Amino acid sequence: MNSGDIQRRFLEILQMPVEAEWVEFKRNNDNPQEIGEYISALSNGAALHGKATGYLVWGVEDASHKAVGTKFRPKQAKRGNEHLENWLLRQLEPRIDFTIHELDHDGARIVLFAIQAANSAPVRFADEEFIRVGSYKKKLKDFPEKERQLWRLLSGAAEDWSARIVKGASLRDLDKEALTFARTQYLQKHPGQAGQIGAWDDATFLNKAKLCVSGKVTAAALLLAGKAESAAMLSPAQARVTWVVRDDKQQERDYHHFDPPFLLVSDRLLQKIRNLTVRHLPSGTLFPKEVTQYDPWVVRETLHNCIAHQDYTMRGRINVVETLDTLLFTNLGSFIPGSVEAMIRSNAPPEVYRNPFLAQAMVNLNMIDTIGSGIKRMFERQWERNFPMPDYELEDRQRVGVRLTGQVLDENYTRLLLHRTDLELEDVIALDKVQKKHPIEEDVFKRLKQRKLIEGRRPRIFVSAMIAAAIGDKAAYIKNRAFDKQHYRGMVLAYLEKFGDATRADLEELLRNKVSDVLNERQKKDWIANLLQGMKRDGLIRTEGTTRWAKWRLCKTASEAGG
């Protein structure tokens, strides 16, 4: 925009009744981090509201929209030794343009950043995405509905990388074993076409399977059925799955790289993974239940989801890290649905896909379930095996991690699944978080508490007495719940009646191993301190001496106190 356009646009902004979600007014705030976060928020806000540009304006009073001027000089500002503009551009991903304009309005100096709207993915600054909610800047991840809406809008504008025709690629670049296997998988998915597929040549079959477009080879075709050497044609994207084995000290012990065809990678990966047989003994039977650490279907589904949803434009690889009892799968790109729980509750496919052409081809080749249902089935399969639920690790907004646990973590949880067939999947997922000592949301906590599935106080919660009794594990429950306060008071009174006095350390030694195992050591010390202070307030015990060398003595006998 030239200076005249900027002046006109500035006047239009001043006439706006309130700050919009693509416009922000400042006085003299020149904090680089804040500026970067606002650029992200305004770029995303502009895209969400169908605007080509967002605006960050200095020198205008927020409430009145009066031009008051600013001392901020962005073109001279620096972050360390780097010019502010360059530093901001370097922190933005994906890259967008913003232009800095300085103008005069009725003698007031104005600075205006014209910020390009997000056009392919939500814009993040320093690895975090922001959005305007009303007149406030917020993290986009805290507003999943807005995040999904933004992805839905951007997906229409963004090119589907997997659907692009690869220049110079031909059917000769495809792997014959992969094509044979693809036909077998296609028949399993489409048995009604068994009488026709034999007459199709490779070009026709690939068009029908949605791997090629009018006989032209797509990126999806090279990923799923290409020869290993054809991966170079996808550069700068990296078509590779890497398996790594680490010991208990996180030292790398073995690794292997898998290149295309990705259609054959899952079976080859399963041959590498140490999938041991484990045994657990359900309550009320002498016959152990034997299962493998990892369900092959769940492993395949997890890997295939990584392949389908990898952001190949980020030029990274898919990783599978194996430890003694876990598998961690990671792929690049944010988790578009926002929340695993919300996706399972909706029981419907997401509205937006990162690689829709690739995902549809993988459905046609029986690699993934009907788009969107595979994640729910993964949880259900683990439930059927009485194993821990998959853990989705979504803290890093540029990477999705899925961890499979190959061992029983808590026998109470396992026995619960065996005996309580009336539970809903949401309950099982929430109880799985409890057994892993992961936080649960307040409404989930209240629901489990109301149904008497858990006891304790947040964050120290455990399986309730009712469930423990039903599954024959009363001892573990008592160890977790321990006794009521009157029991411990009686122990203190009896000790002092016998020995006359005691130090704090003596009483902590008396009680520490009898207090609930739900508490950690610090919490046990605090609990004992509160117990003693309560007894002192009630006139049961008293202290003598200095704070450091104080001795606790009886005020009453144990019998008088009712102990």
Render pLDDT for 198-212 as a digit per residue (tens, 0 to 9): 999 999 999 999 999
State mean pLDDT over 126-136. Answer: 87
- Tens-place pLDDT, residues 347-383: 666 656 789 899 999 999 999 876 556 788 899 999 8
Contacts 24+ apart (CB under 8 A), 119-122: 119/47, 119/154, 119/157, 119/158, 120/94, 120/154, 120/157, 120/158, 120/159, 121/94, 121/151, 121/154, 121/158, 121/334, 122/44, 122/147, 122/150, 122/151, 122/154, 122/334
DSSP string, 395-458: SSTTEEEEEEE-S-S-HHHHHHHHH-TT--HHHHHHHHHHHTT----HHHHHHHHHTTSEEEET
The per-residue pLDDT for 203 is 95
**Residue 518 — very low, low, confident or very high, per pLDDT cuts 50/70/90?**
low
Lowest model confidence (mean pLDDT) among 78-82, 277-281, 373-377, 475-479:
475-479
CA–CA separation, 459 and 486 (whole Å): 24
- Tens-place pLDDT, residues 318-327: 999 999 899 9
The per-residue pLDDT for 563 is 41
The per-residue pLDDT for 519 is 65
The per-residue pLDDT for 327 is 97
Environment class of residue 445 by beta-carbon count within 10 Å: exposed (0-12), middle (13-18) or buried (19+)? middle
The per-residue pLDDT for 256 is 96
Q: Which amino acid is at 498?
A: K
Lowest model confidence (mean pLDDT) among 108-117, 130-139, 540-549:
540-549
Omega before 388 cis (within 30°)?
no
Q: Are 114 and 22 in contact (CB under 8 A)?
A: no
Residue 479 has pLDDT above 90, yes or no: no
Going from the N-terminus, what domains does the chain have, and what CATH number goes with each? 3-158 (3.30.950), 159-274+282-387 (3.30.565.60), 428-481 (no CATH), 485-554 (1.10.10.10)
The per-residue pLDDT for 349 is 61
Give the helix, strand, coil percentages of the chain, each rounded to 5.
Answer: 45, 20, 35
- Tens-place pLDDT, residues 251-268: 999 999 999 999 999 999
CA–CA separation, 246 and 179 (whole Å): 34
Q: How many residues in total does the chain contain?
A: 563
- Nearest to 65, CA basis, from 3, 6, 23: 23
Percent of the chain with pLDDT over 70: 85
Q: What is the DSSP letter of 161?
A: G
The per-residue pLDDT for 403 is 96
- Burial pattern 132-151, b for ≥16 Cβ within 10 A else e, equals bbeeebebbbeeeebbbebb
The mean of the pLDDT values for the chain is: 84
Lowest model confidence (mean pLDDT) among 29-33, 127-131, 392-396:
392-396
Residue 471 has pLDDT above 60, yes or no: no
CA–CA separation, 206 and 335 (whole Å): 29
User: Of the spans 15-29, 90-104, 506-520, which averages the highest pLDDT?
Assistant: 90-104
State mean pLDDT over 212-221. Answer: 95
Residue 282 has pLDDT above 60, yes or no: no
The per-residue pLDDT for 474 is 54
The per-residue pLDDT for 473 is 53
Residue 190 has pLDDT above 70, yes or no: yes
Residue 221 has pLDDT above 60, yes or no: yes
The per-residue pLDDT for 306 is 95
Tokens representing 490 are 């009686």
State mean pLDDT over 389-399. Answer: 85
